[in-house]
Structure 1
Amino acid sequence: MNFPIASSFSSACILSLYACLFVGTPAHADLNDIYRIYHTKPALAAFEICQGGGCVQSDILQLTEAEWDNVVRIFSPLPANAEAEREAISKAIGALEDMVGTKIGTAADRAGTFNNSDYLHQQDCNDEAINSTTYMRLMQQAGLIRFHEILDTRTRKFFFTGWPHSTAAIREQATKAEYAVDSWFYDNGLPATVLPMATWKEGYIPTDSPILLRPQQKEPATD
């Protein structure tokens, strides 16, 4: 079974893979691994997670039914509208990051990218966008996402107008409105930020994000 996200894997997506790479470390975005992940149907018994920046390391892991029940409870009862579903998606991504982090070492992943290279098992925005997309595909297969379609990852800036940054994305079925699902703004295990794509494209960063609050991080003010 092919997902719409697989057919839309494009040159724009490839360009986005060089966004958010760790400063001071080589940029070795593994396009073959990323292409494979996008074309593989994830399952609780075997799904792939990226880390290291540009998916330079990928881990195949599984979740037990008891672990997945933690996600199901977030959607219980099933959201009655798209807005409530987006809130549940946000929380579920945080819960999945927490569970996965204990398995592959990314539990200490810090918000942002810059100056994180001294910390092991860090993820850049490409890793985060791909992983969040995988998590949402698992939710969709389980019948938890009913009001949204899962889209290809999105990128803002593309170097020409600022520092590139990528995110997972969804589209509300009824209104066709697109939303960014960005788990890069906060440390591992916290809810993803879900907001209108147009606002995200403008360079949005939450005012309480550690990206802005940690003095040791020196990321560009707009990204």
Structure 2
Amino acid sequence: MTRRLRPLLCALLAWPAATWATVGVAASDSGAEVSICYNYGCASEARVRVHAAALRRIGARLAAARSAAQEREYLAEAVGGLYRVAATQTAVATDRAGNLLDEGADGRMDCIDHSITTTRLLQLLEARGALRFHRVVEPARRTRLILQHFSAVIEVLSVAERIDRLPPGEALAGCNCTEDGLVIGAAGEGDGDDRPGQRYVVDSWFVDNGEPAVVLPLAEWLNGGGPNVQ
């Protein structure tokens, strides 16, 4: 195996759930802290402070989403923005798309670093009520020949679950209801990309630090979908 091929393996291993679970996130009214991974295989970790003003801007942007598809678009931008914040406080500013462009640099991130960190960033937003159309689930793994690749994953919520996430008093504004108040459906329910239970990867490994993450249907990603980077 050549030295240049070795990073592409993206570590032939999985990791315990505790490494990506919400224990990596701490939030308060004054902002939040999240632990990020870098230098391949989460060899290095650092706490990043996200100020309340930045979280409010991201929250306002996500609140403007009117469909699950639109929320995914805004979420890709939000993840990129949070990585830019991390780049001002840690070495990850050097991270480039894939593995080869930043090989050997302090702050480089492989797919394990990205899948763990992006999951934590998504959980931070979810914990603050910023996700109305999706939930954060466990990272996914795909295997092609001997190579493995990992990514953060989100899942589309049902109408009932979306309404449960609305603030008190706003539930009726988020659904189509009969005169007696029973929910009979909502925009996007059952429509292809917005089908409840549909899963999408949020893959920041494909892009340079701070760029919007790549969001793809999980099935497409598992079949090798995504930009051609190494």
1:166 equivalent to 2:150? Answer: yes
Amino acid paired to 1:113: N
Q: Which runs of 4+ in 1 moved over 6 A?
A: 27-30
**Is 2:211 aligned against 1:190?**
yes
For 1:1-223, list aligned pairs within 5 A: 22=7, 35-38=18-21, 40=23, 42-44=25-27, 45-77=32-64, 79-114=65-100, 116-157=102-143, 161-174=145-158, 175-206=196-227, 211=229, 219=230
AA aligned to 2:202 is V
Distance 1:129 1:21, change over 3 A: farther
Of Structure 1 and Structure 2, the greater strand share is in 2
Q: Secondary structure at the match of 1:63?
A: strand
> Alpha-carbon deviation of 1:35?
2.5
Instruction: Return the letter of the residue paired with 2:212.
Output: P
Matched residue type, 2:56: D
Distance 1:54 1:110 in 2: 16
How far is 1:41 from its partner? 5.6
Q: Is the 8 A contact 2:19 2:116 kept in 1?
A: no
Question: 1:143: Cα distance to partner?
Answer: 1.1
Give the distance between the partners of 1:178 and 1:111, measured in 2 at CA: 23
- 2:34, 2:121 within 8 Å by CA — same for their partners in 1? no
- Structure 2: give runs of 5+ residues left out of the alignment: 159-195
Post-superposition CA distance 1:183-218 (Å, at most 9, x none): 111100000111101100111122xx6x2xxxxxxx
Q: CA deviation at 1:60?
A: 1.6
Give the share of equivalent positions with the same residue, in percent. 29
* Counterpart-to-counterpart distance in 1, 2:12 and 2:44: 10
In structure 2, C-alpha distance between the alignment counterparts of 1:107 and 1:53, rounded to whole Å = 15
**Equivalents in 1 of 2:97, 2:7: separation in Å?**
12
Deviations 1:146-175 (Å, cap 9, x if unpaired)?
111111010101x6x341100000111132
| Inter-partner Cα distance in structure 1 for 2:54 and 2:222 | 34
The amino acid across from 2:151 in the alignment is T
Q: 1:89 to 1:21 in 2, by over 3 A?
A: farther
What's the TM-score once normalised by structure 2's chain length? 0.72
Partner SS, residue 46 of structure 1: strand
**Residues of 2 paired with 1:154 and 1:21: CA distance?**
21
* Number of equivalences: 185
- The alpha carbon displacement at 1:112 in A equals 0.5
| Unpaired runs of at least 5, structure 1 | 1-19, 212-218
- Over the residues paired in the alignment, what is the CA RMSD in angstroms? 2.7
